[in-house]
């Protein structure tokens, strides 16, 4: 049965459809189109699995589909891939009312959203996320971007989709590593402000790893509800509330950039980054050691790394210096007072940062 979560943004509000076999529902796409023509952007991994099914569903409703397939992977979330999308759109004479459809994981969603925000100064787009991480996080909220060699997601725009269609049936085709990566973002929602959800995850993490359909549908829905609530309150990250969604990301983006894009999956880096944030919080005397242990144990049970690469404090500071939350030259961090109580601060003593990092790069 399909469930719907609404992202309330006045005249830019949109639905998130959640359920199985939604890729066969061409009407969920067609109902949002002002022109019976779309450009469907996907990658070399997803295209062989889902492109034909969606194209047939749309063709049955007389919607013409222009497929654009780019190489898969975080290493292709760049200007070169973006320009190849622009080339295809121009070559096929796509117009301002031609909607772009992002079919794939977070890389495709972010890149397609940025293409939609900038092609002809803005065209409509729809997100069809096929990974757990994209369904619970990157497809919702309107953050679009590509990477720069010096920093992740440094070039982009806020640009909301017309709709998000999360077919949870696609999660059955994911590699186990991708499922675990998505769980990092799911766990984040419990940590930043939803203690009952964190407790539920603690009791159901094995079911999620095993891809129990009921458990996954619940996790996707609650995660989307949490994100929709935060986005509605602080769409452009101007009030500090939306920044809390970046728990683990300041350290995580540093890990991704430092290792090279694609070496670790985004969710893996976020998990290790969240462990660093928890240990720094503990080093500052805020987070109880029992909570730190509980957080680490849950990430481990989800199949995620809890030991970070040992770049050294100075290299981490260098990489984090390009974080988008930097203000007035000071790095701002998302830390924890307790599970469910996250906050944004630039007041982190270097001694606590060094202690938290040192504890996070060892197996002890």
Sheet containing strand 125-129, strands side by side: 3-7, 14-19, 164-167, 125-129, 99-104, 37-43, 64-70
- What is the longest distance spanned by two Cα atoms in the chain? 63
Encoded tokens for 33? 């189109």
First to last CA, the chain: 45
Residue positions annotated with a catalytic role? 121, 143, 185, 227, 237, 242, 246, 249, 253, 266
233 by Cβ neighbours in 10 Å (0-12 / 13-18 / 19+) ranks as exposed
Rounded CA separation 203/213 (Å): 16
Alpha carbon 300 to chain centroid distance?
A: 20
Q: How is 48-70 classified by DSSP, letter by letter?
A: IIIIHHHHHHHHTTT-EEEEEEE
Which structure tokens are listed for 19?
A: 């359920």
């Amino acid at each position: 049965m399909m469930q719907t979560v609404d992202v309330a943004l006045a005249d830019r509000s949109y639905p998130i459809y959640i359920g199985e076999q939604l890729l066969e529902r061409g009407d969920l796409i067609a109902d949002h189109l002002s022109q019976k023509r779309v450009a469907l952007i996907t990658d070399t991994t997803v295209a062989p699995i889902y492109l034909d099914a969606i194209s047939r569903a749309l063709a049955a409703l007389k919607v013409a589909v222009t497929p654009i397939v780019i190489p898969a992977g975080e290493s292709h979330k760049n200007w070169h891939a973006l320009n190849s999308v622009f080339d295809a759109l121009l070559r096929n004479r796509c117009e301002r009312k031609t909607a772009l459809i992002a079919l794939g994981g977070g890389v495709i969603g972010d890149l397609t959203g940025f293409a939609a925000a900038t092609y002809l100064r803005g065209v409509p787009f729809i997100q069809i996320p096929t990974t757990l991480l994209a369904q619970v996080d990157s497809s919702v909220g309107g953050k679009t971007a590509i990477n720069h060699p010096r920093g992740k997601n440094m070039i982009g725009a806020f640009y909301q989709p017309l709709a998000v269609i999360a077919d949870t049936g696609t999660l059955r085709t994911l590699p186990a590593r991708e499922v675990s990566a998505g769980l990092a973002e799911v766990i984040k929602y419990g940590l930043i402000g939803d203690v009952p959800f964190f407790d539920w995850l603690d009791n159901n993490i094995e079911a999620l790893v095993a891809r129990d359909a009921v458990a996954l549908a619940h996790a996707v829905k609650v995660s989307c509800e949490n994100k929709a609530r935060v986005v509605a309150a602080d769409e452009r990250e101007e009030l500090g509330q939306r920044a809390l969604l970046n728990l683990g990301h300041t350290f995580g983006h540093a890990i991704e950039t430092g290792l090279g894009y694609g070496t670790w999956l985004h969710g893996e880096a976020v998990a290790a980054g969240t462990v660093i944030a928890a240990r720094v919080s503990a080093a500052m005397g805020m987070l109880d050691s029992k909570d730190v242990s509980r957080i680490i144990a849950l990430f481990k049970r989800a199949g995620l790394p809890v030991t970070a690469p040992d770049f050294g404090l100075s290299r981490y500071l260098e990489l984090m210096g390009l974080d988008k939350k930097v203000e007035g030259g000071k790095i701002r961090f998302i830390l924890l007072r307790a599970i469910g109580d996250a906050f944004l601060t630039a007041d982190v003593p270097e001694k606590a940062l060094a202690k938290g990092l040192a504890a996070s790069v060892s197996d002890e």
